[in-house]
């Protein structure tokens, strides 16, 4: 049976939209307070940094962390068999710690910090692309887009502009942008508008939700995956939906179709 990510993301998988100069790809992971999607983010990091044969080697991963320090992710990824320290030392994993990033001059306005941050990411990406030590498609991951509003002093339009710049950067090289956002952490229309706009601009949306019929001892939740821009046999462009249940273990996550006992390890 085809692996989960290969099946739901299509032939390009976690490589983005195709070859350099092609369109990029944006994946939005939406979770909720009851069912966190961070486990999926952890496993995506491992999959990108350590692709299984015959998949080609991955390019560098640029990770923008707004919620946890490097030590947190290193501890979790070690349990998954991935050493982030060695990945960082080999320039395959570049960690931007927003908890420590120095703020720019306040006179630069609300979006000054995000402009400064994008400049840092842009320079790192371009340097890596033109370096001979890194080959393959690069990836940018933002671990909590809701906290970007804090960086922008509550200006959601500045956050949308920042994410648009990141999408443009990935599109130039046909690469990948992965975002994690929370559906119900803020109960206000402004955040709902912001998240809806991010979802509208995404190519793939993964909803991490609790089971519709409540808790189960051997199933921890469900993933509903929507792929946009799918052309059917009649030439119509639409959505393609996938639904999986998942079970989280210490060093892996198992995915399986509802009612099936055949699991798929990520």
Is residue 25 included in any domain, yes or no? yes
Give me the pLDDT at residue 160, please: 93
Q: Evaluate whether residue 254 is within a structural domain.
A: no
Q: Is residue 28 part of a domain?
A: yes
Give how far the C-alpha of residue 114 lies from the chain's centroid of Cα atoms, to the nearest Å. Answer: 18
Q: Which residue has the tokens 């792929």?
A: 227
| Phi and psi, residue 128, nearest 5° | -70, -40
Asked whether residue 266 is domain-assigned, the answer is no
CATH number at residue 115: 3.40.50.300
Q: Which two tokens stand for residue 108?
A: 């630069």
CA–CA dist 247, 221 (Å, integer): 7
- Domain annotation covers residue 80: yes
- Which among 17, 252, 242, 234 is positioned nearest to 138, based on CA atoms? 17
List the chain pLDDT tens, one digit each, 266 residues: 336 556 666 545 566 554 444 467 899 999 988 889 999 899 889 988 988 776 777 789 999 999 999 999 999 999 999 999 999 999 899 999 887 764 444 445 556 778 888 998 898 888 887 775 556 688 999 999 988 888 888 888 999 999 999 999 888 877 899 999 988 766 677 778 888 999 999 988 999 988 877 666 778 888 888 887 654 455 544 567 788 888 888 777 777 777 765 445 55
In a domain, 2, yes or no: no
Residue 162 has a pLDDT of 94
Domain count for the chain, please give it. 1
User: What is the phi/psi pair of residue 116, to 5°?
Assistant: -65, -45
Q: Is residue 244 part of a domain?
A: no
**SS3 (DSSP) at 23:** coil
- Give the DSSP H or E segment for 45: helix 38-49
Structural domain containing residue 195: 16-221
Tell me the C-alpha distance between 103 and 98, whole Å: 9
In a domain, 35, yes or no: yes
What is the dihedral sign for C-alpha 9, 11, 15, 16? negative
Residue whose structure tokens are 């119900």: 184
Cα distances from 80 to residues 43, 207, 252, in angstroms, run 8, 23, 7
């Amino acid at each position: 049976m085809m692996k989960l990510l290969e099946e739901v993301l299509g032939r390009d998988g976690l490589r983005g939209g195709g070859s350099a100069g092609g369109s990029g790809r944006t994946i939005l992971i939406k979770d909720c307070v009851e069912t966190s999607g961070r486990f999926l983010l952890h496993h995506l990091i491992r999959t990108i940094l350590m692709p299984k044969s015959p998949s080609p080697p991955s390019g560098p991963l640029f990770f923008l962390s707004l919620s946890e320090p490097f030590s947190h992710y290193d501890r979790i990824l070690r349990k998954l068999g991935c050493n982030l320290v060695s990945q960082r030392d080999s320039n395959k994993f570049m960690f931007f710690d927003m908890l420590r990033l120095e703020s720019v001059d306040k006179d630069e306005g609300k979006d000054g910090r995000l402009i400064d941050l994008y400049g840092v990411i842009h320079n790192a990406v371009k340097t890596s692309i033109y370096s001979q030590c890194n080959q393959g498609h690069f990836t940018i991951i933002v671990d909590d887009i809701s906290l970007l509003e804090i960086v922008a002093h509550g200006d959601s339009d500045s956050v949308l502009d920042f994410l648009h710049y990141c999408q443009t950067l990935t599109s130039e090289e046909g690469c990948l942008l992965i975002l994690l956002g929370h559906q119900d952490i803020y109960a206000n229309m402004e955040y709902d508008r912001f998240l809806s706009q991010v979802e509208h601009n995404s190519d793939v949306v993964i909803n991490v939700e609790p089971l519709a019929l409540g808790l189960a001892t051997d199933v921890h939740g469900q993933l509903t995956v929507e792929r946009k821009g799918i052309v059917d046999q009649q030439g119509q462009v639409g959505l393609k939906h996938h639904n999986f249940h998942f079970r989280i273990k210490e060093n892996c996550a198992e995915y399986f179709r509802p009612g099936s006992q055949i699991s798929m390890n990520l």
